[in-house]
Amino acid sequence: MQSPCAGTRSIDEILDIAVGRRVSVEVSKSERDVKPSPRATDGPIAFFDGIGTAHSLPLVAGLDAAASRAGFRRHWTTAIEPPAVADRPSSGPLSCEWTPTRGFYAEFCESGTFAPFAYRAAWRRAARRARDEGAVLFCDLAVEQLLASRGLPVRAGLPGVWVVHQVPAPPDTRPLALRVKLTVANPRRWRRQLRTVRARSILRRLAASGGRFVVHTPAAQDRLARIVPGDLIRTARWPIISAAAPPELATDAPDDLVAVFPGECREGKGLDVLLQALPAMEGLAILDLPSVVTGGAQALVARAADPRIRMGTTWLTNDDYQQHLRSAALAVLPYRAAATANAGISASLLDILAVGLPAVITRPIAGGLPEGYGGAVVVEPDSAPALAAGMATAIANVDELRRCARTQGPAFVRAQHTYEQYLETIIEAGSR
């Protein structure tokens, strides 16, 4: 057998081979022999959600309702806390809680940090339970956590569909001398590179064991196709509404002009740029920041000390979140230039389109707008003056922006971003 170092293999290729051999022992022979997926209608669908973040809150409920309306039986494993667990003491040993009426299973890390071995163990228990319940399809709604986990072998034991939100970087094809120079200049690059290589290797093993993948943009599909065979990948628009019950539209402009920052407000999404631009935003009565969750983001807001800021420090229920959107005159999404480097999507942008709320957004996420959309002002990222100028333009033209947003946004979302469509893609992927 040829040595991994033979010929002109790159560092990435050598690491891929080394880590791939290590990961390959984590997938049993029975996994490689998994047969093509049967129709999901032959039995229940097992959904696994190990994130439990703001993205999961509406997704779990929406996808479960869509599957129920379509007549599917479901088995859920999720990190979202069921109501029965809400009164659990915050101290004491970590425990597992089971809510039979919903089929939700919750396991939490008391410190709030990612625990790679505990996560892998919870994942394996979920897969075992899915097999025991006779599920014909196992869908992991966020494979990124699994890629970062550690522990015993990854064995679903039944047809799997893996939803990929953030596609790992494909192998680096730049000249070897340049990559070595970059690594020497930044020693931490090795650690990131090893994590990325391991993630790629696990994705390849999942593909080899019969898995299928769902991504959310054509760019993500192209990127993932450089890691696993392209015919195993399906693209599904990120779902944010139910076709059976679309959200109410935003209200007419309130007496005071309110701008809302949807989703989690943090530095990586441009919170710092927004706060720098805020003093120059004339005509703005209130800046609504509904979810400033991290301590660092809260400190940024405190230092700004602008009396127009209205800040919330917890995750909101979906109903409360929608109320913040409907009560605003404008949305602002000041995302940084690197916001879509991993070929992801902005669910917050879709949220404002769904309710017909006009917006000021930065160019990195403008690709998520409908073609010819007239309900948004697009500005360059990472620039407080550009953002302030964009807000001035939006405030001066808010009535026209609102008219276009209401006409174009909700129709676009209803046509392409429903839970029903998302469920169809998952079932199609698992039934091939």
| Position 266 pLDDT exceeds 60 | yes
pLDDT of res. 330: 95
DSSP assignment string, 346-365: -HHHHHHHHTT--EEEEGGG
pLDDT at 89 over 60: no
Q: Judge whether 150 lies within some domain.
A: yes
List the CATH number of the domain containing 214: 3.40.50
pLDDT band at 398 (very low <50, low <70, confident <90, very high): very high
Whether residue 201 sits in one domain with residue 154: yes
Rounded-to-integer distance, Cα 133 and Cα 41, Å: 14
Buried/exposed 273-285: b ≥16 CB within 10 Å, e otherwise: bbbbbbeebeebe
* Distance from C-alpha of 354 to C-alpha of 346, rounded to nearest angstrom: 13
Whether 244 maps to a domain, the answer reads no
Same domain, 265 and 375: yes
Those residues whose C-beta lies under 8 Å from the C-beta of residue 221, and which sit 6 or more positions away, are: 215, 230, 233, 235
How many distinct structural domains can be found in the chain?
A: 2
Query: Whole domain around residue 303: which residue ranges?
Result: 258-416
The answer to whether residues 158 and 84 belong to one domain is: yes
**166 and 114 in one domain?**
yes
> How far is the C-alpha of 205 from the C-alpha of 210, rounded, in Å?
9
Same domain for 383 and 297, yes or no, is yes
CATH assignment of the domain containing 317: 3.40.50.2000
Asked if residue 281 and residue 219 are part of one domain, the reply reads no
Residue 365 in any domain: the answer is yes
Shared domain for 377 and 282, answered yes or no, is: yes
Region of poorest pLDDT, from 74-83, 287-296, 392-401: 74-83
Residue-averaged pLDDT of the chain: 79
Whether 193 shows a pLDDT value over 70: the answer reads yes
Task: Look at 32-46, 235-249, 281-295 and tell me which has the smallest mean pLDDT.
Answer: 32-46
- Which residues on neighbouring strands pair with residue 106, listed in sequence order? 97
* CA 78 vs CA 48, 61, 75, 99, 322: distances in Å: 6, 11, 10, 11, 23
More confident residue, 211 or 317: 211
Asked whether residue 311 falls in the same domain as residue 190, the answer is: no
pLDDT of residue 241 exceeding 70, the answer is: yes
* Same domain, yes or no: 140 and 277: no
The mean pLDDT value for 205-222 works out to 91
The whole-number pLDDT of residue 342 equals 58
283: CB partners within 8 A, 6+ apart = 257, 392, 395
Q: What percent of the chain has pLDDT over 70?
A: 78
Q: In this structure, is residue 211 part of a structural domain?
A: yes
With a cut of 50, say whether residue 106 has pLDDT above it.
no
